[in-house]
Amino acid sequence: MAEKMDRRIRKTKAQLRYGLAKLLKEKTIKEITVKELVEEVDINRSTFYLHYTDIYDLMEQTENDLKSEILEIIHNDEPVKIGETMPHITELFVFIADNREIASALLGPNGDVAFMRQIEQIISSHCMKYLKPYLVHLDERTLERVNSFCIAGCLGLIISWMRNNFDDTPESLAKISYTLVLSALKPYMTKIAE
């Protein structure tokens, strides 16, 4: 019985998340009401209030769930050699594709800029951990700038992919992203070998 209840709760929360994503494509979070959200997904207001206090609580819990899943994907302490695929990059693109509605909404014009910055920081920290051993000759400021350039490029690639309705596979985007990042870093990595 508990499993059936958990499944129903997950389904309800998924519907509300989908409805939030759909409405965020049209308006800002400030303009969305509980009434229009529950009408959008055909759920009672009382059901909404069983899980969330208001629209902002739904948004915050949704963002926290996404951050937790991203952290779970990139959590890895195994050393990786340059030339291999960057750890978990394909899984991140698959995750974005699997969550395309809410990802498009949160990264779109009515999305949450603070959330996007938090995701950038999570990915940036992961990339720095991975790349820093190969860029030991760079001072901290240059290393930070190089990393910022790579992160901005990857986010631009993701946003372009979203605008084009996810017209390519996550694996293809991961390969493009990795190739471009590696190409940008190669001149700095060459200094290590000299």
**pLDDT tens sequence across 36-82:** 999 999 999 999 999 999 999 999 999 999 999 988 888 755 555 55
90-119 burial code (b ≥16 CB/10 A, e <16): bebbbbbbebebbbbbbbeebbbeebeebb
**pLDDT at residue 76 in the model:** 59
Q: How many whole angstroms separate alpha carbon 123 and alpha carbon 129?
A: 10
**pLDDT at residue 77 in the model:** 54
Q: Which amino acid is at 77?
A: D
Pair 16, 43: CB distance under 8 Å: yes
42-79 burial code (b ≥16 CB/10 A, e <16): ebeeebbeeebeebeebbebbbeebeeebeebbeeeee
Of 99, 91, 101, 107, the C-alpha closest to 156 is 107
10 Å CB burial of residue 138 (0-12, 13-18, 19+) is buried
**pLDDT at residue 149 in the model:** 87
Residues of the chain with pLDDT under 50: 191-194
Q: Report which DSSP code applies to 134.
A: G
Which tokens belong to 48?
């909404």
**pLDDT at residue 193 in the model:** 38
